[in-house]
Structure 1
């Protein structure tokens, strides 16, 4: 039922480790540190935890291993979602469903990875992915995410008439936001000239079109709304959660690659939450690459088809704009914690605790996972500050 989950559960606490290029510790240690910080944030302890949920691709800190390390002897809910950033919103949705249906009372969600110093995303110096399609990519040198998303970028730019400067405005704007974020890895100014002068990675993607590689962990605590109201922080309600399909670039047909699977899923998400795109105050959009931000603005109905370049060009996604986007700097400038750091930022904004980058009167946030390319799946959340 569309309303079965709406506002029954809440994110009660958030936590994170420093974002770096070399954490010096294991991914398990990162996970435990972030979870402890999230529990401390809301005033709970590992003894209160009876559910654990994570997502990953490549490296992982399995839920059962983390449960053992936390001392949770008989967890009532365990889930390990596979799908990388595509499942970053789904993991919170799964935790909310577990709480809403009585499977668990307090679920910790996390993502931990040493994506710079250890298991570099899309690197070629390791075993090939266990994907049937990969054998058809290798002969053509199509090996890494920037190469794959360069194809998507070309399709979108051709349809929308987007230019290099349109991509650059996403990167420059998000760097402006990151400069106000003490967690961010990249806080020095980024100009359009510097963006255009940066080296090619895979045309049309330049260096600053691509997300960071980061060692870090973030964590969230999900419980029922009533219990959350008795804890330390203002609860952030889970108003809607949705998971959708997608397509790989090689196996499944899609008539128009310039739109993503998020366009198909978005109506279900808004129906679940009982709101529309016009009600969204801030959007934390999955930004592994700059064109994904432009595409999702359109696919989630935040602007019309083909209007995203002008929307961004008019300053709409700035902190003082019509719809602030990636208020923490996103994956491009804050750090890449596989999508879950976007949810942490949304929670801080809706609690009014984002410091210099706080969006005034922000009450509703859209948080998205990777919109369905390559992985064949996508997910998103709508969160609301509890009044």
Structure 2
């Protein structure tokens, strides 16, 4: 995807408040977030001619367009696999802009994941006419694997067995996320850090996952405006360039633990490694060129193999990388500076893209010095995606 490098840029971001009970529909949340993003870009609703979101988003494009007074739509698309779409929707927008299919594309995601459908509940009921997902689930549901936490737990246990990682190693991810969230006024856990002892004392959900290994269920909406690079420079003196973006699904992919892969891959994320190879090649960058990362943290154990897949440490070494403090603001790779999904909110990873934009703009609540490139990853254990954004010039 070298052809996409710096062809498109992010010029606007918007969000609602993040809560546990928004008190309004997901469509209303989407409208508020998109309106804010368009205003942030210095554009008008009628300037927007493209929309993209997740297949799981409940807000129809035409309803959003009608409510906001958007221009005629020449492009609209959706990406599947839940949080795996978090960066793929940026790819959709960049592809549309680079191909000239649309001039201005808005990405949106709005969910009532706490007050509405509880995303942590998984799927327990099955209709008489099962869809494809239910058919696949029928092979694992009899073993009690109903929920995302249940799907991740076997991977986490195998990783611990192979590399000597401990529950405390997973807990350090949560502690850092909450530490960063405590300084973020928009975060649900603002001013509420935790200690490793508190992590260890939190209830078991599915061993080896404690409650504080699991991300939040949140209500909220976020939106992003993407346009061509030249137009972006006319709109702002600090466009956030889409340096590289990629998708990846690996052999024998499953949801969310790929149970049938060879033993050596049972502690890896081959789909994330595929995304990493594409991103680095497309951007002509390597791990040494990344100053910060927004790592998808729906469950803490899956942060570790992501660090390894992107080359920030060797196979099985992520626990040591984290123990040495490298995810901290003064570490080698400051991670989830907004608090991530553990500390800020769970908006299916899209709020992480907003934080990457803020770091490049220089407006983060935990702003880092001399940030040139930020990596963003999407959902793990599923077909996924990744993104590198950077400064112009």
Partner of 1:274: 284
Contact 1:41–1:232, Cα closer than 8 Å, also in 2: no
Partner of 1:323: 333
Partner of 1:136, secondary structure, is coil
Contact 2:247–2:386, Cα closer than 8 Å, also in 1: yes
2:371 is the alignment partner of 1:362: yes
Task: Please state how far the C-alpha of 1:254 moved relative to its aligned partner.
Answer: 4.3
After superposition, the Cα gap between the structure-2 partners of 1:27 and 1:254, relative to the gap in structure 1 and judged at 3 Å, is farther
* d(CA) in 1 for partners of 2:323, 2:120: 31
Partner of 1:300: 310
Partner of 1:240: 244
Partner of 2:157: 154
Partner of 2:110, secondary structure, is strand
- Segments of structure 1 that go 5 or more residues without pairing to the other structure are none
Partner of 1:259: 268
Task: Please state how far the C-alpha of 1:126 moved relative to its aligned partner.
Answer: 6.8
Equivalent residue runs for 1:93-172 within 5 Å: 93-123=91-121, 127-128=125-126, 130=131, 131=133, 132-172=135-175
Contact 1:350–1:384, Cα closer than 8 Å, also in 2: yes
Partner of 2:65: 67
Name whichever of 265-274 and 281-290 sits farther off: 265-274
Contact 1:63–1:79, Cα closer than 8 Å, also in 2: no
RMSD of the TM alignment (CA)? 1.6
Task: Please state how far the C-alpha of 1:51 moved relative to its aligned partner.
Answer: 0.4
Partner of 1:158, secondary structure, is helix
* d(CA) in 2 for partners of 1:141, 1:244: 28
Contact 2:109–2:222, Cα closer than 8 Å, also in 1: yes
Partner of 2:384: 378
Task: Please state how far the C-alpha of 1:74 moved relative to its aligned partner.
Answer: 2.4
Partner of 1:335: 345
Task: Please state how far the C-alpha of 1:63 moved relative to its aligned partner.
Answer: 2.4
Task: Please state how far the C-alpha of 1:288 moved relative to its aligned partner.
Answer: 0.3
After superposition, the Cα gap between the structure-2 partners of 1:184 and 1:305, relative to the gap in structure 1 and judged at 3 Å, is same
Task: Please state how far the C-alpha of 1:70 moved relative to its aligned partner.
Answer: 2.4
Partner of 2:235, secondary structure, is coil
* d(CA) in 2 for partners of 1:97, 1:12: 16
Partner of 1:27: 26
Instruction: Report the TM-score, using the length of structure 2 for normalisation.
Output: 0.93
* d(CA) in 1 for partners of 2:237, 2:208: 43
Partner of 1:43, secondary structure, is coil
* d(CA) in 2 for partners of 1:233, 1:337: 28
Any idea what the Cα deviations from partners look like across 1:58-81, whole Å, max 9, x if unmatched? x52232332232223520100022
* d(CA) in 2 for partners of 1:14, 1:273: 23
Instruction: Report the TM-score, using the length of structure 1 for normalisation.
Output: 0.95
- Segments of structure 2 that go 5 or more residues without pairing to the other structure are none
After superposition, the Cα gap between the structure-2 partners of 1:7 and 1:193, relative to the gap in structure 1 and judged at 3 Å, is same
Name whichever of 129-138 and 345-354 sits farther off: 129-138
Task: Please state how far the C-alpha of 1:124 moved relative to its aligned partner.
Answer: 5.6
* d(CA) in 2 for partners of 1:9, 1:333: 30
Partner of 1:6: 5
Contact 2:48–2:71, Cα closer than 8 Å, also in 1: no
* d(CA) in 2 for partners of 1:254, 1:32: 45
Partner of 1:36: 35
Partner of 1:165, secondary structure, is helix
